Amino acid sequence: MAKFDYDLLTIGAGSGGVRASRMSAEFGARVAICEDNRVGGTCVIRGCIPKKLFAYGAHFADEFADSAGYGWTTPAAEFDWGRLVEAKNHEIDRLNGVYIRILRENGVEIIEERARVVDPHTIEAGGRTLTAETILIAAGARPATPDIPGREYVITSDEAFEMETLPKRVVIVGGGYIGVEFAGIFNGVGAEVTEIVRADTILRGFDQDVRLALADEMAKRGITIRSECVVRGIESENGALSLRLAHGEVLETDLVMYATGRTPRIEGLGLEALSVDVGESGGVVVDKYSRTSVPSIFAIGDVTNRVMLTPVAIAEGAAFAETVFNDNPRSMHYGDIPTAVFSQPPLASVGLTEDEARARHAEVDVYMSRFRPLKHTLSKRDESTVVKLVVHGDSDRVVGCHMLGMDAPEIIQGLAIAMTCGATKAQFDATVGVHPSAAEEFVTLREKRPHHPVRDLR
Ligand code: NDP
């Protein structure tokens, strides 16, 4: 008789947990997965997928407006938030079903309960005690909001996906991925949006030129970005909310959404009692094979607070399954991870920012182009596209690609492959462009931009 009930017990059926469990089962492991919410996790249920559907929804406003320059006369467009949410919910239900089917077809048992680890090989879930050779923590992360007076009045992205009506005025606090993406969504569908950012501008960590260019584009669309601004407290009166700002100003709005980062979801997992190491950032500490300080317990995805991105969690999950159940030790490579912000217009990047490259290398060449995309010659939309290459001067290797503009996420994916292959600027130059496209700019950049230590595109 087997020593344990299962070979693998996974806690959390998000992108990472599902991939790890499914692959482990394919390799012959007896697997069960515990989930106290809906199978699919943050990305599918209340993250990337519904967000991108909302972003598509918001973008139609541009398409209707731009069509006039191409000869179209359209009746005044009307938008119904409730219909968008309902359509999104149908698609999320479908995807939830697909994920459940994938697990079942691979023989993974689904336990719809919150689980707690009680010893290195045992968990408790819904009153049941279950044992496994290996336990995998893939519990994800949850929105983190600072503890300010009036915190009870704010929503996070979790609630934004379920809102029944669209408020007239929205204040978003936070200038990261979620804040910027939702600013574009709410603005696109007709709300009056103010984004409050404590830093000098949005998207800390991204290349300065594309950050500033996106802030400009957002302003042109009517989004107010309040930089170097701090909220002291929020009050509710007669159905409206008042934000008290640090310098004494009061800002009135109908909705406040906080998008101030996400924190690993470790509370209630029982990890403290087992002395599983947790880092200062709140993430479960793991080695390169995602093993925690307790050898039979592994952790992947957002709960480890390495890189909070779905494809990273999936890759970590796959590497875990290969290592533990296919006798093929593999670890995730964290260099050159491409990423996109689905703002309006979108921004995408892979590799080093110019500042990171200059801090690391003495010789850095920068190539950049800012232009009006062909589509907007007739639409007359005042929107620029920015493409930028950062090149290591000594080796000629391209170490960073950055883009703001239509289709940037689709374009950067291909460039990430080139960078993974170690492409040089000379090889970019030797590549024939696709004409006419914005992407071809990346292979036609010839003039080095002089280095100005202090830059501002505006
Ligand atoms: P981010 O870490 O991207 O941004 C958080 C923002 O909130 C920053 O602007 C930060 O400012 C600000 N902030 C943090 N704490 C406070 C505070 N106490 N008061 C005021 N402002 C504060 O987090 P998000 O919530 O936007 O997203 C969470 C994670 O989810 C992202 O890091 C990303 O990994 C992932 N994600 C990825 C997406 C994608 O791939 N397209 C989409 C959405 C989320 P400062 O810069 O000064 O620290």
For the chain, domain boundaries: 6-142+263-325, 151-260, 345-443
**Among all residues, which ones are annotated catalytic?**
435
* Residue 451 pLDDT: 85
* Residue 335 pLDDT: 94
Query: Does residue 179 have its Cβ closer than 6 Å to ligand 1?
Result: yes
Residue 159 CA to residue 150 CA, distance in Å, equals 17
- Summarised one tens digit per residue, pLDDT across range 238-284 is 889 999 999 899 999 999 999 999 999 999 999 999 999 999 999 99
- Cβ count near 355 (within 10 Å): 14
Query: Coil, strand, or helix at residue 65?
Result: helix
Residue 257 CA to residue 178 CA, distance in Å, equals 10
Q: Please identify every stretch of the chain with a pLDDT value under 70, giving residue numbers as ranges.
A: 1, 453-458
Query: Does residue 257 have its Cβ closer than 6 Å to ligand 1?
Result: no
* Residue 177 pLDDT: 98
* Residue 457 pLDDT: 47
Q: Is the separation of the CB atoms in 357 and 392 below 8 Å?
A: yes
* Residue 247 pLDDT: 87
What amino acid is encoded at 329 in this protein?
P
Domains 151-260 and 345-443 share a fold: no
* Residue 458 pLDDT: 46
**How much is the pTM?**
0.97
Distances from the Cα of 311 to the Cα of 17, 38, 43, 332, 416, angstroms: 12, 19, 10, 11, 14
Cα of 388 vs centre of ligand 1, distance in Å, is 24
Name the phi and psi angles at 159, rounded to 5.
Answer: -80, -30
* Residue 450 pLDDT: 87
Name the phi and psi angles at 114, rounded to 5.
Answer: -80, 135
Topology of domain 151-260, CATH: FAD/NAD(P)-binding domain (3.50.50)
Cα of 177 vs centre of ligand 1, distance in Å, is 6
* Residue 253 pLDDT: 98
Topology of domain 6-142+263-325, CATH: FAD/NAD(P)-binding domain (3.50.50)
For 345-443, CATH number out of 3.90.550.10, 3.30.390.30, 3.30.429.10, 3.40.50.150 equals: 3.30.390.30
